[in-house]
Every structure is written in structure tokens, then in C-alpha cells.
Amino acid sequence: MRLADWEGLMLNIGIFVFAAFVFFIIYDLAKRSNAGKFGTIILFLALGLGLAAFVIKTIIVELMGI
């Protein structure tokens, strides 16, 4: 396995771990603030949208080959 392959694999794993950690933080924030069901959904939509945009941008750039 070449170094570039290894770096690509670790980048994908790192992004997945980062996304999981962000969703854990959002869940913990909702739990500690007693947000309820609706508040938790709003938190995940509002805060998770930023992470989703980052991931979607990365996918689109890879597909375009830029």
C-alpha cells in the first residue's frame, strides 16, 4: 500500500470519526438542555446541516475531479 493510499484511507476514517463526534456533541447538547423531541430535531437540523454541507462539498469536489 502506497503512502497516498494510506493517507486517503486515514482521511476518510478521520472524517467519519469527526462526524460521529459532532453528532454526539449535538445529542449531548440537546440532552443537557432538556430540549425535548422537537428541540432535538431542530438542533440536529440546524447544527448538523453545517456538517452535511462540508461532507457534500467534499463528495462533489471528488466527483468533479478538481
Where are the chain's structural domains?
3-64
pTM score of the predicted model: 0.72
Identify which of 25, 32, 15, 14 has the alpha carbon closest to the alpha carbon of residue 47. Answer: 25
pLDDT per residue, tens digit, the chain (66 aa), is 789 889 988 988 998 898 899 899 999 999 999 999 999 999 999 988 888 888 888 889 889 976
| Predicted pLDDT at 15 | 85
Rounded distance, CA 50 to CA 36, Å? 22
Identify which of 26, 20, 24, 50 has the alpha carbon closest to the alpha carbon of residue 35. Answer: 26
